[in-house]
Amino acid sequence: MKKPLLPFLLTLGLICSSANLFSQRFLSEVFSSVSVTPNIVFGENIQFLTGVADTIDLKADVYQPVGDTMTARPTVIVIHTGSFLPIFYNGQATGIKSDSAVTELCRQFARRGYTAIAMDYRLGWNPQAIGPAGQDIRTGTLLQSVYRAMQDVKACVRYFRNDASGSNTYGIDESRFILTGVGSGGYVAMAYVCLNNPAQIELPKFLAATTNSNYGFTAGLTYINQSIWGDFDGYGGAPGYNLATNTPGVANDVAFVINMGGALGDSSWLQAGPNVPFVAFHVVNDPFAPYKDGSVIVPTTGDFVVDVSGSWRVIRIADSLQNNIAFQNNTWTDPYTVRANQVNDGFDGLFPFELPDPPGPATGQAGPWEWYDSTTVYQTCMFGLGFTQGKTDTIWYSSLATNPDMSRSKAIAYIDTIMGYANPRIVAALNLSTGINNLSSIKSSLSIFPNPASGFINIDASSTNAPVRYISLYDITGRLVSKVATLEDQKIKLDVQSLQSGSYLIKIGFDAGEVTEKISIRN
């Protein structure tokens, strides 16, 4: 499991200040390369975006660590943002499974040893129903859109779980699926694990005030009529409204949820019982999804849609129900936990981001983990979609309004923080082995000689009962000078005759992780 030498470490002495240098699977990046299998069709269903009830394919991209020997990996499904409308038509520069934040999340998860999946889902609601007269349409169609997206995510879980129980094409552990919802995808991820009783969608705020056959509303009944739209798992429903053929009969339970800036339809959806652990990341002044409790509004008109509960409320209740008992009341002192605990009111699993209101009309910031470039936005909108420059300007500046200092480096810094906080909690909740205990045993039994070496370095792992998968040698500047890959031997003789005398790092990869040692060469 190869991990590149960290470029910001200045000297070999700093790197070797600890006697044991291990990369821990799931906690740190133990793979350097990721393979991507794009556009796997995991299902099909009926879309309502265009006004014509067409059947569309549902697709996913799968990210896997290159060179991994683990055949059953915990699997993270990332659900993109986009306000349940197509990218750019939603007035934003995000909203597809190849969003920069989504692909970065998937690559980082894969480099840590997970399988990661970026999926698409059906879109469509009517935010253009204006004023009090449009209230029913706005609220009802948005709730229906979240519901359909939830059904699509369940279809995705079933498809890949079914594959894992057979050929296991993608190296998936069928018992350990993790949902990560970004922005509006967070609404879907949390609804996924909380909605299981029809009474939950029959609360007064989810009942139609009018009858509207165009949208499937009946006055006094829930907007989400399961006889029309199907049940929570996507089964049943009326012909022309739902297809119940997406890998039926396979379980679709998941083991963990990460929410990045989404909210829950109602706090009462969280119930006592064997519920799924949550962690949540949320900008406190997010104008699109409340941090505590508040209203969803249409940004362009200010019209009310529905009241929801944000990450603070969700994690507070989840902790009180002991959903997060696997990592609650920990004594961790890592910088991510320390920072979160300074601002999360004592609710473990919650990481608030405190950001100032931006300049201009926006009343808060959102999605600091997102980034996009103007060239792509303008070329796609103006030359691909035929938008005017004025309309494209509006999309670009609207995206910047709540993320004013948007950049790749900023976004990755936030994603690094999300990884640093979420992954130890995933490991604890799912009881994952990071390989550190096995590595300790391997290191104590491993022989690297002679040291200093002249001409050749001998690596003897015969006492470890662990085959060597690769060997990498780095000079003091962090430059890779020698690499031997795809090994399964336990005794290796590494030729270093061509190298200059000096200090080097040798990194030896095993299935359990990586051992790093300092070695001197005198040629």
Bridge partners of 304?
297
Residues 130 and 158 occupy one common structural domain: yes
Per-residue confidence (pLDDT) for residue 437, from 0 to 100: 59
Q: Are residues 309 and 407 in the same domain?
A: yes
- Shared domain check, 410 and 495: no
Q: The CATH number of the domain where 212 resides is what?
A: 3.40.50.1820
Instruction: List all residues 6 or more positions away from 115 whose beta carbon is below 8 Å from its beta carbon.
Output: 62, 63, 64, 73, 74, 75, 76, 170, 171, 172
Report whether pLDDT(13) > 60.
no
> Where is average pLDDT lowest: 156-170, 211-225, 483-497?
483-497
- Categorize the per-residue pLDDT at 436 as very low, low, confident or very high, splitting at 50, 70 and 90: low
Q: Tens of pLDDT along 95-117?
A: 999 999 999 999 999 999 999 99
Report the chain's terminal Cα–Cα distance, integer Å. 29
Instruction: Identify the pLDDT of residue 57.
Output: 98
Alpha-carbon distances, residue 158 vs 165, 226, 269 (angstroms): 10, 20, 23
DSSP letter for 268, please.
G
Type of residue at 210: T
Q: Verify that 166 and 189 share a domain, yes or no.
A: yes
Which of 146-155, 396-405, 453-462, 504-513 has the weakest average pLDDT?
A: 504-513
Output the pTM of the full model: 0.82
Residue 27 lies in a domain: no
pLDDT at residue 2 greater than cutoff 70: no
Residue 424: closest CA among 277, 274, 236, 275: 277
Least confident of 35-39, 192-196, 326-330: 326-330
User: Which residue range is the domain that position 221 belongs to?
Assistant: 34-430
Residue of 365, 401, 403 lying closest to 100 (CA atoms): 403
Find out whether 440 and 512 touch, Cβ atoms under 8 Å: no
Nearest to 171 by CA among 307, 289, 35, 298: 35
Query: Does residue 468 have a pLDDT over 90?
Result: no
User: What values do phi and psi take at 31, rounded to 5?
Assistant: -125, 145
- Residue 355 tokens read as 């950001």
In sequence order, the β-bridge partners of residue 480 are 474
Whether the per-residue pLDDT at 9 is higher than 90: the answer is no
What value does the mean pLDDT of the chain take? 91
Handedness of CA 4, 8, 11, 15 (dihedral sign): negative
Q: Is the pLDDT of residue 345 over 50?
A: yes
Token code pair at residue 162: 């079914």
Residues 228 and 316 in one domain: yes
Mean pLDDT of all residues in 222-243? 97
The domain that holds 500 is classified in CATH as 2.60.40.3080
- My answer on whether 388 and 494 are in the same domain is no
109 close to 28: Cβ distance less than 8 angstroms: no
Residue in 406, 86, 48 with CA at minimum distance from that of residue 241: 48
Q: What is the pLDDT of residue 185?
A: 98
Q: Which of 229-238, 273-282, 430-439 tops mean pLDDT?
A: 229-238
CB 259 within 8 A of CB 280: yes
Does the structure show a pLDDT above 80 at 88? yes
Q: What is the pLDDT of residue 274?
A: 66
CB atoms inside a 10 Å sphere around CB 373: 13
Chain segment 158-187, per-residue pLDDT in tens: 999 999 999 999 999 999 999 999 999 999
| Backbone dihedral angles phi then psi of residue 265, each to the nearest 5 degrees | -55, -35
User: Quick one: average pLDDT of 293-306?
Assistant: 89
* pLDDT for the residue 1: 38
Q: Render pLDDT for 40-66 as a digit per residue (tens, 0 to 9).
A: 999 999 998 887 779 999 999 999 999
Does 13 fall in a domain? no
Tell me the percentage of the chain whose pLDDT exceeds 70.
94
